[in-house]
Each structure stands twice: as structure tokens, then as C-alpha cells.
Amino acid sequence: MPRARFAALLVPLVLVLAQAGAAAVAVPAAPTIGDGPEAVTASTNASFTFTSSDAASFECSLDGAAFTACTSPASYTALPEGLHSFRVRGVDGEGPGPAAERTWRIDQTAPVAPTLTGPSSPTSSTSAQIGISHGEAGVSFLCKLDAEAEEPCTSPKTYTGLAAGSHTVSVRARDAAGNTSTAATHGWTIDTA
């Protein structure tokens, strides 16, 4: 058999054998990330647990840094405010597998105080409706009437059966990370005479 023809037959055979060998290489599947921070949090610390049924060890990466050896749980402290990403991949004798990823945002900035509307003063009405508005999406509100305890509330907040005299409502906004604003207040006087 001429050498050129033999080489032509040999090249496809080598490729088939190489592909068969490559198919036999199995890297670990992406690990499963368990516990970790909430999607939005005020905490500057984060800890992640992760597992894999077929990885001999793990490598982790925070915010796009190079992967380094790690164990579960992987903990990080004193992180800056903003968006973060954690990636972990399993490693075995064949090398690293695909990474699993979790993203979250650290928010330590308090929202601004809400805007309130309420009864004019003086008024003879023993009821009051307080309108509450805020420019930041996803905030909730905490309301307090006079010396009563603060409680979660929605807009409008209605009070009934109020006694004659001066009243003040204080309302704070709370964002998804748990940061709270300073209080906005609305005061009025009920005069039933």
C-alpha cells in the first residue's frame, strides 16, 4: 500500500480514537449551592455551603477573581456595598467541571423618608387617613401614632376613634435589605368643641 494512501486512512482513524478518548473524560457536574445570603442584604459578610456527589475537591471565585481551592462553607467578610457573584466548581483527576453561580447585592444605604399627606389642622374629625408615598420601588412602611408602638403599615393608613387634642403620625420607609429611613411626620389637632 502506498505510503500516501496509508496516511490518508490513518488520519481519520486517529481522529475517531481521539474523539472516543475525549468522550470518556468526565469532569464533575456543577456543584449545588445551598445556603447563602439573601438576594438583597445589608450584611457585608457572606457564607456559602455547597455539595457535589462526584467532585474530589472544590475551587471558588468571588466577583470574577481567579478560582482558588476552597471548602464548604466558603466565607467572606468586609465586602463592599454593591453587586457580588460567587462561583464554585468541582475538581477531580480530569480537571475542573462547570461552575455554579449565585449573585446578590449588598445595600447599606437607607432610603429617603417617605412623603405624607393627612388631615388639615384643626379638624373636628376623630378619624384620620394618612397617605404615604415613596420614590423607591419595593419599600415597606412602619407607622407610629403618638406614643403607640411602631407597626408595619400600608398606604393609606387609617386611624379612627381618636381623642380630641394634638396627634402626630411618624412613618419610616424600610427597603428590601432592611435599611430604614428617618421618620417623616404629620401633625394635626382635633377640636371637637
Q: Name the one residue in this structure whose C-alpha cell is 379612627.
A: 160
Give the integer Cα–Cα distance in Å for 3 and 1: 6
The per-residue pLDDT for 22 is 47
Topology classification of domain 115-190: Immunoglobulin-like (2.60.40)
Write down the pTM of the prediction: 0.72
Domain boundaries, the chain: 26-106, 115-190
The per-residue pLDDT for 26 is 82
Give the integer Cα–Cα distance in Å for 69 and 55: 12
The per-residue pLDDT for 14 is 43
Give the integer Cα–Cα distance in Å for 145 and 113: 16
Give the integer Cα–Cα distance in Å for 74 and 77: 10
Three-class secondary structure of residue 69 per DSSP = strand
**Mean pLDDT in order along the chain per 10 residues (193 residues):** 52 46 70 96 97 93 98 98 98 93 97 97 96 94 97 97 97 96 97 85
Residue 156, preceding peptide bond in cis (omega within 30° of 0): yes
**Fold match flag (26-106 vs 115-190):** yes
The per-residue pLDDT for 1 is 52
The per-residue pLDDT for 15 is 44
The per-residue pLDDT for 192 is 86
CATH code that applies to domain 26-106: 2.60.40.10
The per-residue pLDDT for 4 is 55
The per-residue pLDDT for 27 is 87
The per-residue pLDDT for 18 is 47
The per-residue pLDDT for range 144-162, each reduced to its tens digit, is 999 999 999 999 999 999 9
